């Protein structure tokens, strides 16, 4: 039986193209399972998983919880705001208390980059990074690449554009690693103030002209402008951002080819994309959400295979 090369999923940077293909092939099976009338399998019946979220989430939290329940795992949910973290308990103490209740795996979202890697060194459980600050969001990148593969047949050779707030985006970084590992070409577009200085050293090109970038790509991934991470103002106003980088149906219809539109969510409708684009036949945004459950089932299944029992 093939297995992952790592004991945790901390980031796409730390896994191999073979790992990604393995996750995809298992996710293909789970996608079939979750579309059956009986959507549940007993695979993780004796595994307990804690979802610990120190930051807000809709898609990732619900998707992991559903993936765990579809696999018949026992699930506990922890939200920092309603916990003893507010009384000053440390991350390691908090998680060790959760693990003392015989928990096997921890899915964690945290506002600080490196939190998942730190936790993996200090506690005895499999750790899945559900987003750590502006660092990585590995399951988002996996479900994005899986959705491109589903829509276009393959990721290899595809031209993928990522637009917007690259500086604050864990989705962008994980997508760059994932798409490149699968043989896609990646370009970035957005305000120069939202492009990290190092980003071209990762082998991506920056195309400052949004129209040219759209003409180049097969797929465009429209990132959310992350107001909550912007203490400084990186562009004059949202209106000006939208005028320069917002995707409208008019722009899409004026291109001489069809492109696939993605968004990791949550969408700021009328900012990154208009509603008629988000809800159009070009958009695979809800397919991304559906595929997220199958991808997370695959990741949890493969990491659970590594638990010594
Ligand atoms: N895509 C994503 O991570 O969404 P949430 O913040 O709602 O989990």
Q: What is the pLDDT along the chain (309 residues), one digit of tens a residue?
A: 799 999 999 999 999 999 999 999 999 999 999 999 999 999 999 999 999 999 999 999 999 999 999 999 999 998 887 777 778 888 888 888 888 888 999 999 999 999 999 999 988 899 999 999 999 999 999 999 999 999 999 999 999 999 999 999 999 999 999 999 999 999 999 999 999 999 999 999 999 999 999 999 999 999 998 766 666 678 878 889 999 999 999 999 999 999 999 999 999 999 999 999 999 999 999 999 999 999 999 999 999 999 965
- Reading the block at residue 14, the tokens are 């730390």
Residue 235: the pLDDT is 81
Report yes or no: 173 and 221 within 8 Å, Cβ to Cβ.
no
- Reading the block at residue 144, the tokens are 């994005």
* 3-state SS, residue 276: helix
Whole-model pTM: value is 0.95
Ligand 1 touching residue 57 (CB < 6 A):
yes
- Reading the block at residue 304, the tokens are 């659970």
Buried-state track 35-57, b at ≥16 Cβ within 10 A, e below 16: eeeeeebebbeebbbbbbbbbeb
Task: Give CA angle at 116 (114, 119), nearest 5°.
Answer: 110
Which residues neighbour 65 within 8 Å (Cβ) at sequence distance 6 or greater?
Answer: 51, 75, 77
User: Which residue, by CA, sits nearest to atom 4 of ligand 1?
Assistant: 59
Q: Alpha-carbon distance 300 to 290, whole Å? A: 16
Residue 231: the pLDDT is 62
Ligand 1 touching residue 111 (CB < 6 A):
no
Residue 98: the pLDDT is 85
Residue 55: the pLDDT is 92
Strand pairing class (105-110; 185-189): unpaired
Residue 83: the pLDDT is 74
Report yes or no: 258 and 217 within 8 Å, Cβ to Cβ.
no
Beta bridge partners of 273: 247, 269
- Which ligand 1 atom is nearest residue 265's CA? 1
- Ligand 1 centre to CA of 56 (Å) is 8
Residue 309: the pLDDT is 56
The neighbour count for residue 142, using CB atoms within 10 Å, is 28
Ligand 1 touching residue 292 (CB < 6 A):
no
Residue 238: the pLDDT is 85
Domains and CATH numbers, the chain: 12-137+289-304 (3.40.50.1370), 138-288 (3.40.50.1370)
Q: Which residue has the tokens 């459950």?
A: 293
Residue 21: the pLDDT is 98
Mutate to test the pocket of ligand 1, among 60, 79, 108, 296 (most ligand atoms within 8 A of CB): 60
């Amino acid at each position: 039986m093939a297995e992952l090369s790592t004991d945790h999923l901390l980031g796409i940077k730390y896994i191999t193209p073979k790992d990604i293909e393995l996750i995809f092939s298992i996710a293909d099976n789970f996608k079939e399972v979750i579309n059956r009338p009986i959507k549940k399998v007993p695979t993780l019946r004796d595994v307990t998983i804690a979802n610990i979220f120190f930051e807000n989430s809709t898609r990732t939290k619900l998707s992991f919880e559903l993936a765990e329940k579809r696999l018949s795992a026992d699930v506990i949910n922890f939200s920092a705001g309603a916990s003893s973290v507010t009384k000053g308990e440390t991350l390691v103490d908090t998680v060790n208390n959760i693990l003392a209740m015989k928990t096997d795996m921890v899915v964690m979202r945290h506002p600080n980059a490196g939190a998942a890697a730190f936790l993996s060194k200090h506690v005895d459980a499999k750790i899945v990074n559900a987003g750590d600050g502006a660092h990585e969001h590995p399951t988002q990148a996996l479900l994005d690449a899986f959705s491109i593969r589903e829509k276009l047949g393959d990721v290899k050779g595809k031209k993928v554009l990522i637009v917007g707030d690259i500086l604050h985006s864990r989705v962008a970084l994980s997508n760059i690693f994932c798409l490149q590992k699968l043989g896609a070409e990646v370009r970035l577009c957005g305000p120069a103030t939202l492009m990290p200085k190092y980003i071209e050293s990762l082998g991506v090109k920056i195309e400052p002209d949004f129209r040219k970038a759209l003409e180049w790509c097969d797929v465009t991934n429209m990132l959310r402008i992350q107001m909550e991470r912007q203490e400084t103002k990186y562009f004059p106003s949202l209106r000006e951002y939208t005028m320069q980088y917002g995707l409208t149906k008019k722009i899409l219809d004026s291109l001489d080819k069809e492109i696939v539109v993605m968004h990791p969510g949550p969408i700021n409708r009328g900012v990154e994309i208009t509603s008629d684009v988000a809800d159009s036949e070009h958009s695979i945004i809800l397919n991304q959400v559906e595929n997220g459950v199958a991808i997370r089932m695959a990741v949890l299944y493969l990491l659970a295979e590594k638990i010594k029992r």
